[in-house]
Structure 1
C-alpha cells in the first residue's frame, strides 16, 4: 500500500480508542510493573522493515496486542515510583485533540487557538502559584527542559548585568559565572548546567539540613566569599523527602549579592495552590524564574513542562530568533523557549485546570498530601519499616533496616506487582521512595500497598 486513504483515519482512531479504553480498564488489577523485558519487546517489534505496508487498523491492533506485557500501570492508583502522575480525563482527551489538530504552536499568528489556550493556562498557573502576572510562561517538554530554559535565560541576564552580551560575544571570554546549588538538588539542575557548559567541578555547593533544605547561613557564607555574576538554584520539593527550601530566608540573602534566583519546583510549585500547604512556598514569589512540570502534580500527559521567567524581556533576550519567513506578533511562544516547531503541549494543562477549577486543583494537591500521610502511617505500623523523612508534602521515604534488606524489599515489591516504588540513597543509607502523584489513588490503593509490603518484608 503506497498511500494511506484519508478515510482510514476514522477507522484507525476508532481502533486506538478501543485499545486505550481496554488498557485503562485493566490498570486496577494488572501488575503495576512491566512483565516483559526490553529484549523481549525488541524481539516482538523488531526485525527488518517490510517491503509493503499494512492497513492502519492492523497496525494499531498489533501495537495493542503485543505491547501489553511491556506496559507499566502508571495511570492506575498504585504507581508510586519516581514522581509521575496519572492523566486527568479532560487532559487526556484534550491531548488526543492536540494530535488530531496538528497545530505548530510556536507562532500566535499561525495557530491562535492553541496559543491562546496555552497563554491562558500560563496565566491561571501564575495565579495559582502566586507569581507575578506579567511573567512569561514557556511550555517545554518537562521539568528538565524547564530548568534548562530558565537557567539559560538566567545566564544571559546576569552576564548582561555585568556588561557582557552573550548573543553577540558568546561565553568563552565572558566574566566568570558563579553557579550556586544545594547539596540535595535534583540531578536535572546539574544536567542543565552541563548543557550550559558548566561542569561539576564548577558548581558551588551549599550545605543542606537533614531533610535536604539549603542552609541560609551556609548560603550567606558562600556568597560573601566571592564576587561576580551569580545564579542561585533553590528547590520546591526535594525529590526524596519532599522538603522545600526556606525561600523567605534564602532569597533575600541571594538578592543582597545581586543573584538571579531560580526555583526548581517540578512537583512542588503546586503546593502554593493549596491553602493548607501554601506555607511551604512563602517567599517563593521573590525569585526570578521557576520551573515546573504539569505531567506530575497536575496529572496531564507527558510533554508539558513550564519555564516561568519574571521579566519576559529576559526570555526574549535569550531565545528570540531571526528568519525572514517567520511571523512575529509581540510575545510568541518561540520567544521564550529553545523551540520553534512544536505541538500544542499546553492545551491539556488548560483542559485539566478548566475541568478542575481553582477548588479542584487545591483539592487534588490536598489529596496527594493526605495520601502520603496515610501511606507513611500505614508503613510505620509494620515493625521492620522505618520512615526516614518528615512527610510535609507528597513524598514518603522508608527503609527495612539494613541496606540489603531494603534493596531486597524494593525488588520484591516490583516483582510482586501490587504497587511500584523506586529506590533511593539518603545520607549514606539505602531507601525506598513512595511518591504520591496520581489523582486516581484511593485509600484502598494505600491499604493494598501496605498489606503487600507487610507480607513481603516478612518473607
Structure 2
C-alpha cells in the first residue's frame, strides 16, 4: 500500500521495471487461491491448459463482440457453449452468453425473462421502460444467494419486493410453501446452496410453474456442474426443465477469472433482451456475441472454456467433480471424528463445521488462516458462526485433504 501511494508518474517507465514492481510488491500480497488447499468462496483453480489459453488470448488481444471482429473467437465460443450444454444435458437449442460471472449470468437470464414475460402481458419494456409496467412478481427461496438480489435491483425488479418461499433446514426451497401467483412471474431456484450445497426441488417447482405463466430460472453457480456426473445428477433432477440457467466456469470448470455462463432455452427471448444495433454494427449471417450478451467489447474468455472442456473431456470433467465431492465427505468425516460438529448434509462439495460456540469457532477459523496450511472462510449458518469449506479445485489431492484436516484439528486444539 505504501509503495503504491504515489502520484501518476510524470514520464514513461521501462516495461521490465513495471513488471518487476508488479511481481515484487504484488505477488507476495496475493492469496494462494489457485492452490490445492484453498477452500474459500467455492473457488476453482486454473487448469494448465486454461491458463495457457488465457495467455494466448491476451496475446491475440481480440475484441470478441462479433464474428467480423474475431472469427476465431466466435467459432471457439459457439463450440464451447455447445459443449457446455452437452456436458450438462441441457437443451441443444438453448442460446448462451459468456459473461464475467454468475452475477452477470443471472442478470442476463433474468433480463430475458423480464422482457419475455412483460411482452406476453402486452408491455414492451425495451421501448416503454418499467414505468407503468404490469406487476411482475419474483419468487425466491429463503436461502437465495445475495448476488441474486443485486441482479434484481439492477433489473429494476427490486431487492425487497420479492416473494420468499420458506427454506428447509438444508436451505432448500420448500415447494409446499410456494406463494399463490396470479399472472406472469419469475421463480428462481438454486442448484447448490452456497453453504450446504443442497438443491431446491426442481421437479416440483417446474411442475408448479408450468401450470402458471411462470419463468423458471436456475442460479447454479457451482451446483449445476453436478449434471456432468451420473453419480451426482440425481441431486439436480428436474433442473433441465427450467427456462434459463446461470453458472460459473471459474468455479468447478477451473478456468481463470473471470468467466460465467448464461443459457436461455428460448434463443429469441435472449436476443430480444440483449441485441444491439447501430450504423456501423452491421448484422452478419453468423452468431454475433454482442446480440446475446450484455457486453459489446469483451475479452476472449471462450478460449479458456473451450480449453478446459477439450483438456478434460467428458470423463475428466466427471472425475474432477466427483473427486471434489468425495474429498468434501472425507473432510467432514475427519473433522467430525476430531470433535467438530458438521452442520450440513454433505451432498456435494460443501462442508459447514463449527467448533463450539460462535466465539470459539471464529477463533479456530482465524487460527487456520494464520497457520497457512489451508484456507477456509467463515459463514453464518442457521444463526450460528461456522467454518465453510468448499472443495472445487482440480489441484486438490488426497494428501492436501489429509494435511488440511490435521491443520484444522490442530487449530481447534490450540484454542
- TM norm. shorter chain > 0.5: yes
Q: 2:72 aligns with which of 105, 113, 128?
A: 113
Match in the other structure for 1:13: none
Match in the other structure for 1:361: 317
Structure 1, unaligned stretches of length 5 or more?
1-41
- 1:272 CA displacement: 0.4
Match in the other structure for 1:165: 124
Instruction: Please say if 1:453 is aligned against 2:412.
Output: no
Match in the other structure for 1:8: none
Match in the other structure for 1:345: 301
Match in the other structure for 1:188: 147
Q: CA offsets per residue over residues 238-277 of structure 1, 9 Å max, x none? A: 0000001111111111221120000000001111011110
CA RMSD of aligned residues (A): 1.0
Q: 2:376 aligns with which of 386, 411, 421?
A: 421
- 1:200 CA displacement: 3.0
Aligned length: 413
SS at match of 2:160: helix
Q: Where do residues 7-406 of structure 1 align in structure 2 (5 Å cutoff)?
A: 42-219=1-178, 222=179, 224=180, 226-330=181-285, 331-383=287-339, 385-406=340-361
SS at match of 1:50: coil
- 1:378 CA displacement: 1.1
Alpha-carbon contact 1:107-1:328 (below 8 Å) kept: no
SS at match of 2:386: strand
TM-score after normalising by structure 2? 0.98
Q: CA offsets per residue over residues 171-201 of structure 1, 9 Å max, x none? A: 1111011011000011111110011123333
> 1: CA distance between counterparts of 2:183 and 2:134?
7
Alpha-carbon contact 1:107-1:327 (below 8 Å) kept: no
> 2: CA distance between counterparts of 1:139 and 1:93?
19
Alpha-carbon contact 2:184-2:212 (below 8 Å) kept: no
Q: CA offsets per residue over residues 305-351 of structure 1, 9 Å max, x none? A: 01100011001110111101013224311111111111111110100
Alpha-carbon contact 1:109-1:328 (below 8 Å) kept: no
Alpha-carbon contact 1:175-1:229 (below 8 Å) kept: no
Q: CA offsets per residue over residues 34-91 of structure 1, 9 Å max, x none? A: xxxxxxxx21223112212221012111211111321111111110011110100000
Structure 2, unaligned stretches of length 5 or more?
none
SS at match of 2:28: helix
Runs of 4+ with deviation above 4 angstroms? none
> 2: CA distance between counterparts of 1:255 and 1:91?
39
